Structure 1
Amino acid sequence: MAGHAADHTPAGDTAAAAGPGTVSGWAVRQPGPISSGPLVPVRRPAPEPGPDDLLLRVEACGVCRTDLHLAEGDLAPHRPATVPGHEIVGRVVAAGDTVTRFRVGDRAGGAWLRGTCGDCRYCRAGRENLCPASRYTGWDADGGFAGAALVPADYAYPLPDDQRATELAPLLCAGIIGYRALRRSALPPGGRLGIYGFGASAHLAAQIALSEGARVHVLTRSAQARELAVALGASSAAGAYERPPEPLDSAILFAPVGDLVPVALEALDRSGTLAVAGIHLTDVPALIYERHLFYERNLRSVTSNTREDGREFLRAAARIGLQVTVSPYPLSRAPEALADLAGDRVHGAAVLVPG
């Protein structure tokens, strides 16, 4: 996997420094607009791994739009003062007594999904992403905006030692959820795919689709993102509300903008499918049946991912040599990274790096 960093690659970092037995990072104190400062620095006792856990020394943690939704209150907090971050790359520094898949010193990844019941009808059918008892990193438990994090071993991913941590981090949510969204879009072999919004997740999903022979049309408001899309091989790149140059077999909406749902549906060919990839979406305008849904057009949501999605995607990423475009920030600048994400100023994926 090749990687590209934006011009503001970080210098030293002090936010992750802590005394013996403590870990420093950031927590969401009071959800609200980024300008209100919802992230506050925290220093807490180092977490102790349970029997099934890994304790990771964080090497890098991606900044996902879900983190922004949690900070700003679009997603209601599940617990007070939670440390966000669920694209965690780290080294195992301790493991619980029952853990056999990882050893101290291994590189491992912690992702959004961190727990399911394993026994409900969804889990038994291989659809654990729909488990009513599912739990999530950075929402139900502290995440990776810190110097260390706990990850349940059964939900961790082995990661290669020969890749930069900053390039691996976005794969663990942006990549995985983009992969699931691509599959939910029912893209046929050699099909025509429209991608609305072109950030961390979209630029990875586009490469998977291109590797499978698709023609990809990107529609996004960011001129810089359009340039990246063309550089990666997109057949066209235009404004978010423009019409693609040909009817689409499939489309994925990555931008959390409900106004784009009818726009994308109208761009579909007969029997086409639109997959909405975000965990949060602004209100969708009224749909006109004849314009947006007739001719058996399909509208699908995307909910989290299964661990098998993650394994499949990581294998595909390694096979095709996925190009990961990242903008690194020192952990001390986590609020700035979220603000840049909110303002569409991030090139590719934002990634936090502890010092």
Structure 2
Amino acid sequence: MGSITETRQFDIPKLCKAGVVVNEGPDFQVEVQMVPVPEPGPDDILVRLKFTGLCSSDIHLMQGDLGMPPMSTFGVRSPGHEGAGIVVKVGANVKNFKLGDRAGVKPIVDTCGTCSLCLVDKETYCKAAIHSGLMTAGTYQQYLVSPARYASPIPDGIPDEVAAPIMCSASTIYRSLVESNLRAGSWVVFPGGGGGVGIQGVQLAKAMGMRPIVVDTGASKRELSLKMGAEAFVDFVETDDSAKAVIEIADGVGAHGVFVTAPAAYKTAVSFIGNRVGSMIMCIGLPPAGTMILGTDPCEFIFKNLTIKGTLVGSRSDTAAALDYAKRGMLHQICEVYPINRLPEGVEKLRKGQVAGRIVVNFDWEE
């Protein structure tokens, strides 16, 4: 018997569709090309993705502006880290997945599993972590290999177009909400909250009993934010003083928590707390390296008991928790679905900041 268990149930091609980066760097472009289907090892699964989400972090990796080695250093041409699909091949040692199971691929594909960070639920900070779409082929590629131990099982009842963004945006903001230690009833502000991570945060905050306020601009983001549970939407273009408007909504005192998912919002994040004592500023969105400084007069920290804290992507347990919210009907579709041939168009729209919620790409649909 070989190292791979196969079945005739799945006809696995030699080549598959993928969004491939051309001219990596500030002037990058994405093309849909045919690339080889990878072969899983004995501890791996091969996943045929049905959907991939498009995340702003993908733009950073294609531009190479996060201060990390570029994708090409690792021989990677396809970014992406929000994939949902089915297992079509399993390695001989795999016990936790079988053929036909649903599986998700996340921003981190694997970790060492044994370091002090992995052992205390800080696995996403593991120095040996392998990052999807940077160090290994990402979810813009239809067929992907993933270590079986780190892939996320997707429960029945959650559509793939909902599950794909949960792999990053929902699990990432879930982690931040949990680490904020805010209680039910707290006013929480999402500047840039009409985007993919923020709008998932609105839903989860609402489910946790918090009171979300979105600061963003545009009719589509207003409509989506209010539909997904925001108690108020402040349009920073139409409003003379967004901070004042937020403070008035938040009992005239200010926000208990500010969750910064849009890097441009770091400049004004502290202003939303008003006179609230004990507020949390949670840093989530990644700006280009060296372009943004967040802080204020130390007296503000002292007299207002202010905390500024950062969180990275969600762990496996965070993803499982976010999927459970979706299974219970508390996370809804926040995406616009594009066919695979329009993936480059979706990337350009995302690069220009024109996306309300998420764009997800359907590998099985072509116009």
What TM-score, normalized to structure 1?
Answer: 0.87
Q: CA deviation at 1:291?
A: 4.5
Q: Partner of 2:117: helix, strand, or coil?
A: helix
Q: CA deviation at 1:205?
A: 1.4
Distance 2:191 2:50 in 1: 31
Q: CA deviation at 1:254?
A: 0.6
AA partner of residue 217 (structure 2): R
1:267 equivalenced with 2:272 (yes/no):
yes
Distance 1:203 1:20 in 2: 37
1:219 equivalenced with 2:215 (yes/no):
yes
Counterparts in 2 of 1:253-292, with a 5 A limit? 253-257=260-264, 260-268=265-273, 269-280=276-287, 282-284=291-293, 287-291=296-300
Distance 1:217 1:115 in 2: 35
Counterparts in 2 of 1:242-257, with a 5 A limit? 242-243=242-243, 244=246, 245-246=249-250, 247-257=254-264
AA partner of residue 24 (structure 2): P
Q: CA deviation at 1:253?
A: 0.3
Q: Deviations over 1:274-310 (max 9, x none)?
A: 1111233541266333346642101111122221111
Q: Is the 8 A contact 1:252 1:275 kept in 2?
A: yes
- 1:13 is matched with none
Q: CA deviation at 1:32?
A: 2.8
Q: Is the 8 A contact 2:108 2:129 kept in 1?
A: yes
1:20 to 1:110, Cα distance in 2 relative to 1, 3 A: closer
1:306 to 1:293, Cα distance in 2 relative to 1, 3 A: farther
Q: Partner of 1:216: helix, strand, or coil?
A: strand
1:65 to 1:206, Cα distance in 2 relative to 1, 3 A: same
Counterparts in 2 of 1:63-142, with a 5 A limit? 63-75=54-66, 76=68, 77-78=70-71, 79-142=74-137
AA partner of residue 316 (structure 1): Y
Q: Partner of 2:304: helix, strand, or coil?
A: coil
1:312 to 1:225, Cα distance in 2 relative to 1, 3 A: same
Q: Partner of 1:154: helix, strand, or coil?
A: coil
AA partner of residue 56 (structure 2): R
Distance 1:293 1:340 in 2: 42
AA partner of residue 29 (structure 1): V
Distance 1:226 1:290 in 2: 35
Q: CA deviation at 1:164?
A: 2.7
Q: Is the 8 A contact 2:173 2:198 kept in 1?
A: yes
1:317 equivalenced with 2:308 (yes/no):
no
Match for residue 232 of structure 2 among 236, 240, 254 = 236
1:30 to 1:185, Cα distance in 2 relative to 1, 3 A: farther
AA partner of residue 222 (structure 2): R
Match for residue 190 of structure 1 among 166, 185, 196 = 185
AA partner of residue 332 (structure 1): N
- 1:295 is matched with 304
Distance 2:295 2:270 in 1: 12
RMSD of aligned Cα (Å): 2.0
Q: Is the 8 A contact 1:57 1:90 kept in 2?
A: yes
Name stretches of at least 5 consecutive residues in structure 2 with no aligned partner.
1-11
Q: Partner of 1:92: helix, strand, or coil?
A: strand
1:31 to 1:37, Cα distance in 2 relative to 1, 3 A: closer
Pick 1 or 2: higher relative contact order, CA cutoff 8 A, min separation 6: 1
Distance 1:80 1:253 in 2: 32
- 1:62 is matched with 53
Counterparts in 2 of 1:127-166, with a 5 A limit? 127-166=122-161
Distance 2:121 2:164 in 1: 25
Q: Partner of 2:242: helix, strand, or coil?
A: coil
Q: CA deviation at 1:338?
A: 1.1
- 2:342 is matched with 333
Name stretches of at least 5 consecutive residues in structure 1 with no aligned partner.
1-18
- 2:44 is matched with 53
- 2:162 is matched with 167
1:221 to 1:261, Cα distance in 2 relative to 1, 3 A: same
Which of 241-250 and 160-169 deviates more?
A: 160-169
Which of 318-327 and 111-120 deviates more?
A: 318-327
- 2:8 is matched with none
Q: Partner of 1:155: helix, strand, or coil?
A: coil
Distance 2:146 2:39 in 1: 11
Q: Is the 8 A contact 2:266 2:292 kept in 1?
A: no
Q: Partner of 1:233: helix, strand, or coil?
A: coil
Q: Is the 8 A contact 1:278 1:302 kept in 2?
A: no
1:317 to 1:190, Cα distance in 2 relative to 1, 3 A: same
Q: Partner of 1:275: helix, strand, or coil?
A: strand
- 2:7 is matched with none
What TM-score, normalized to structure 2?
Answer: 0.85
Number of equivalenced pairs: 333
Q: CA deviation at 1:347?
A: 2.7
Match for residue 29 of structure 1 among 9, 16, 22 = 22
- 1:16 is matched with none
Q: CA deviation at 1:172?
A: 0.9
Distance 1:38 1:123 in 2: 36
1:217 to 1:114, Cα distance in 2 relative to 1, 3 A: same
1:285 to 1:112, Cα distance in 2 relative to 1, 3 A: closer
